[in-house]
Amino acid sequence: MLILSQGFHAAVPEPAKEPEITSIYPIGAQLGRTYAAEIRGRGLKLARSIWFREAGLRARVLKVESIAGSNDILHAEVTVEESAPVGRRPLRVVTGNGVSNEIEVHVFPVGPGLWMEGKIEKRGGVNRYPIDVESRQTLCFEVTSGFRGFDPSITIVEKTGSWFDPERMNRVAFNDEPLYFPGLSQDARLVHRFEKAGRYWVQISAFMGQGGPDYVYNLRITPSVAAAPSLHPRLNGSWEERQFTRAMGLDWLDRVASRGGPEAAPRRVETFRAAVEGSAPIPTMTPPGIVEGRIGKPGEAHAIQFKIDKAQDLAIEIETPEATMPRFNPVVRLMEPGGTEIVTNVYTKLNNNGLYMMKMIQAKTAFSLGAPGVYTLQIRDITTDRGGEDFRYRVLVRPQIPHIGKMICSTDRLNLRPGETRTITVTLDREEEFGGVVALVAEELPPGVTAIAAMEKPVERPPLPNGGKLERYTPKPQTASLLLMASPDAVPMKMPAVVRLVARPVVKGQLGGPIRVADIPVMVLARRPL
């Protein structure tokens, strides 16, 4: 963590506002560059410093402009060191009224191509960049948005005119994003092969024609096809076990077990291959085991069997390491010896009025097999028209391991005035009937700040009447709270301290290892608003 500060203080007191930032322009830079940036937001007038959580990035506040009726503009100088990690890096602004929310600054690798920073200043705005290309040249255009509400689009046009208008710019190619799907980036990306040489223009606009000072972006044009666009959703939490794109390595069971308290023992996992249905005898696997395969052709279904000798609580987990939803939508069905489906990863419920079935494929299904026997696992795509080289799957069949799943913290920062108490709420998932106690601890509290466990009113949610077998597909959530209190004589801080929230499972009186929940910047402010 690197904290940089500069002694900048406003002369005129501002109303008490926690700082809120919305965008930074330019949105980032390549490694090894220092550039002037504008950070827009509210309550920035008392900005002291710009705070990066990770090494390799530095910034200093130059000045703050306050514009009546509009956001403040913080002018800063940002340095991206050669050693900075590439990608989206969090940035906050620290003011006399606390630490701001987090936005991202983009660290781009050094490489060939053109880089342009832009802003769609007004509604309906279109920014246009001329480019000269060679015949049969392939270019990759990428637009990275620097504002949460900005969904950029790319259009390549050429001035070939038309019979009606010799000046008309005609569309050559268009792309909004590689694929629009929840969890996927809305940044635009377009790869185009130009058949003929000449001048073209790249147009950037907002998807629905929005615009404004926060509509900032970076356009990168590279002379060859860059890495294939990631069509995987960004994994938000530090622990994800219900996403198709999580990596279930050979240590997956160890990792799961490590969240279940001292008694959860890891197991060895073997890898198996299923057979294409109808083409070969159905092979057999032994749980815990991972079935690996690929739906190579449309309509193809794979099958594999396993035998259990007694009733068991099992979990099926599915990973799609390459193509994933919505291109590859893996359906896994488990059939009992008679061929009847007894469980599937397709969670089915009825809509509110009970008229429609609603189906969602799930990356994990927990269930009980009540009788010994040979069970058949069937794996296929939900459509019958899709298949391909990248339709790879990994299906893990394993005994259930009660453990703590995903944990989400309600706040991303805490600004406390002396004598003030604020609540941090953590929602945690009890996976596979985890029944132990969870200890929640705040570590590295700054001087004068204490944490006290608190109880929240339990969430009472009656089972949905049309909810189907929800318990197979969702963990049991639980909410816990910590109260953070600044003592009346706590000393105001110039910079935030990072408080680490940690959960520890307790099973049968044994305390399990610490599991990180979140790192939260905490700052004690002056007694009175500045």
- Applying CB under 8 A, the residues found at the interface with another protein are 123-126, 162-165, 168, 170-171, 174, 176, 179-182, 205-211, 299, 301, 325-327, 329, 331, 333, 341, 344, 346-351, 356-361, 382-386, 466, 468-469
- Write down the least CB distance from residue 467 to another protein, Å: 8
Q: Which two tokens stand for residue 8?
A: 């900048």
* Chain center to CA of 356: 31
- Write down the least CB distance from residue 197 to another protein, Å: 21
- 284: number of Cβ within 10 Å: 13
Cis peptide before 223 (omega within 30 of 0): no
Sheet bearing 289-294, strands edge to edge:
270-273, 289-294, 392-399, 312-319, 364-369
Nearer to another protein, 49 or 210 (CB): 210
Count of alpha carbons within 13 angstroms of residue 175, beta-carbon side:
17
Nearer to another protein, 90 or 468 (CB): 468
Q: Is 240 exposed, middle or buried (0-12, 13-18, 19+ CB in 10 A)?
A: middle
- C-alpha to C-alpha distance for 176 and 470, rounded to whole angstroms: 36
- Write down the least CB distance from residue 179 to another protein, Å: 8
- Write down the least CB distance from residue 496 to another protein, Å: 34
Q: Which two tokens stand for residue 420?
A: 């003030």
Cis peptide before 418 (omega within 30 of 0): no
- Write down the least CB distance from residue 296 to another protein, Å: 16
Nearer to another protein, 170 or 410 (CB): 170
Nearer to another protein, 169 or 503 (CB): 169
Pairing of strands 414-416, 515-524: parallel
- Write down the least CB distance from residue 198 to another protein, Å: 17
Output b/e per residue, 354-368; b: 16+ Cβ within 10 A. eeeeeeebbbbbbbe
Residues 6+ apart with CB under 8 A from 37: 24, 25, 26, 59, 75, 76, 77, 78
The neighbouring-strand residues paired with 188 are 143
- Write down the least CB distance from residue 365 to another protein, Å: 10
Nearer to another protein, 245 or 329 (CB): 329
Nearer to another protein, 259 or 294 (CB): 294
525, 492 contact by CB (below 8 A): yes
Nearer to another protein, 326 or 529 (CB): 326
Q: Which two tokens stand for residue 229?
A: 């666009």
Nearer to another protein, 87 or 124 (CB): 124
93, 42 contact by CB (below 8 A): no
519, 461 contact by CB (below 8 A): no
- Write down the least CB distance from residue 203 to another protein, Å: 8
Tokens 């001087």 -> residue: 447
- Write down the least CB distance from residue 469 to another protein, Å: 4
- Write down the least CB distance from residue 210 to another protein, Å: 5
Nearer to another protein, 52 or 244 (CB): 244
Nearer to another protein, 176 or 431 (CB): 176
